[in-house]
Amino acid sequence: MFLTLVCHALVMHAVLLISADTSSPKIHEVVIHEIMAKPTPAKGLPPIEYLEVLNRTNEVINLQGCILKVNNREISLPAVTLPPQGLGLLCPQAGVDSFLHANTIVVSRWPAIADDTGTIVLYSPQREVIHAVSYNRSWYGHPAKDDGGYSLEMVNDAIPCAGKSNWRASTADAGGTPGNLNAAAADWDEQLRPDLLYSSIPDSNHTRLVFALPLDSNSAATTTNYELTETSTGRLLRPSSVTVIPPFFTSILISWEMPMRPEEKYHLHTKNLISCTGMESLQNTALPLAIPAPAGRQQVLFSEILFDPAKDISGFIEIVNTGGHAVDLQQLVFKNIRGDATADPGKRLSNDHRILLPGQCLAFTSNAMALCHRYGCTKPRGIQEINMPATYVAGGQLLLTADTMIQDLVSYNADWHFRLLNDGEGISLARISFERPAATAENWTSTPSNDGFATPGWIKEVPAGSSEALNFSILTPFFTPESASGSQVAKCSLDLGKQQWMGTVSVYDITGRPIRTLARNTLLSGSASWTWDGCDEKKVLLPAGVYIFLIEIFNLKGQTRRWKEPVVMARNFH
């Protein structure tokens, strides 16, 4: 009896020690830290998939009973512990002898990791989200690394919920760093905010909102943080409940006390929403809303196409809603038409009933971050990532349908570009008129350099009756680069109306010696402007004096124009 009691006491003591030393993880205490989704062709590591997890706490954490979900397959993790600030490497049985230096956690029923697009979620034994990652091929950020052999690594584990912008392809020579510090690790924080991106309306009683970052659940679930105003009457609709949707917490579902009315316009306003990183959204906090209706005949049309993107940049296809009511993007499909008139499988524009309002345009691409880095997207809400249909450098056909109804068809061609261009690479074709068919070359124009060679997510407005007269002006005839106030750069402007020209803009000194070329044989149209900072081609600041702006343009008709105007640069005395 005594021995039984002693043994029982020792067992209870051991259990208490384990309980005291280990715990199940809470949200973001353990994070998915590295993903090897496509290990072949191997660069130096074994050709085996793996997932690396990081214990971000100063406590020992027990993973027993935690659930790993990869796409639609779930497994329970074994009884293993992660030391404080320690790494664990999850891999299949085949990798048990391949990662000897790592804290290896062998998973007997390994859930295969999708090569290009996948969702990975780590749950606690109570099915509470610990960490979630939804990756796609664009996360690698480099076309040479997305074909296999390189892992995806988290850049800064201090902000594990930042999503795509916090992940990079590994820079390690071996292609990854299983069990070691990530090669892509950096003290990075862009202070991203939980901006409101777009909405969907599954029915008249509910609205789904999608945000740029995961939200703090407490602020997101507070009903007083949302108001919906009926535009025509000023009637105010308030939420009866708000549900924050796991596992990513980037979207919420609002239930309204009263239903929204068809054919009515609304304005949604949010406030006091905090991201998982502790940042509040201060600017993009409101959206217009309207219940969608089926797209009418030729209501949604192609508006811009970048089919020949520069290296490392994704192309895009832009559409615009030319009708009088909102449409549900889930009913719209892109199709590539091949040379033999057969169509590739369709690419649905949305999986979550995203709304496209009257007059609104939206550009679709496979890598929004790379596209906006190149073209400086002025309206981030106008960009949507999807699995894009094929486009071809020389030309092709694209079809847009709504259910079975044809919305638009365009037969784009490299020859449609402005004929004086040497190369259309990286330059989009923009539609001139929505009253005329998309299938004719005369209804498309190359996007000029002064508009950045592409305008994804927005349509440039050309005033009716825009002047065809050419007008050049020096906006700052006198400037001082070192000045603490006043003009620090010289600026000139050129108004070309609706015409398209090729132009060169240069700066000369008073003796006629070339100093700086600001633009060389570049496509121009509309209003264009250039600035000069007083430096030569080597970025060396020049002496004070009189300098000359020289602008030369020519067009398809053989017409040429030339302007030569002086500008005075002063220098501060030290």
If one counts every other C-beta atom within 10 angstroms of the C-beta of residue 541, the result is: 12
Domain ranges (residues) in the chain: 21-169, 196-290, 300-451, 471-569
- What is the pTM for the complete model shown? 0.83
Q: Token pair 């600035």 is at which residue?
A: 531
- 21-169 and 300-451 share one CATH topology? yes
The CA-based diameter of the chain, rounded to the nearest angstrom, is 110
pLDDT of residue 131: 97
pLDDT tens digits along 11-43: 333 333 333 445 679 999 999 999 999 999 999
**According to CATH, what is the number of the domain 21-169?**
2.60.40.1260
Q: Identify the CA nearest to 133 among candidates 213, 247, 245.
A: 247
Report the share of the chain in percent with pLDDT over 70: 94
Query: Alpha-carbon torsion 300, 303, 307, 311, what sign?
Result: negative
Element (H, E) at 14: helix 2-21
Q: Give me the pLDDT at residue 5, please.
A: 30
Q: Is 332 left (phi over 0), alpha (psi -120 to 50) or beta?
A: beta
With a CB cutoff of 8 Å and minimum separation 6, the contacts of 366 are 136, 137, 138, 314, 385, 386, 387, 388
Alpha-carbon span 412 to 315, nearest angstrom: 14
* The pLDDT value given to residue 108: 86
Give the whole-angstrom CA distance, residue 439 versus residue 33.
Answer: 48
SS3 content of the chain, % helix, strand, coil (to 5): 10, 40, 50
- Do residues 237 and 257 make contact, with C-beta atoms less than 8 angstroms apart? yes
Q: Hey, what CATH topology would domain 196-290 get?
A: Immunoglobulin-like (2.60.40)
Indicate if the pLDDT at residue 456 is higher than 80.
Answer: yes
The Cα–Cα gap between 167 and 137 comes to: 12
CATH code reported for the domain at 471-569: 2.60.40.4070
- pLDDT averaged over the chain? 90
CA separation (Å) from 195 to 162, 167, 361, 498? 13, 20, 19, 36
pLDDT range class, residue 142, cuts 50, 70, 90: confident
What pLDDT, in 10s, does the model give residues 202-260? Answer: 999 999 999 999 999 999 999 999 999 999 999 999 999 999 999 999 999 999 999 99
Strand partners, 251: 210, 245
d(CA 302, CA 307): 13
User: Could you confirm whether domain 300-451 is CATH 2.60.40.1260?
Assistant: yes
Question: In angstroms, rounded to a whole number, what is the distance separating the alpha carbons of residues 344 and 332?
Answer: 15
CA 81, CA 173: separation in Å to the nearest integer? 30
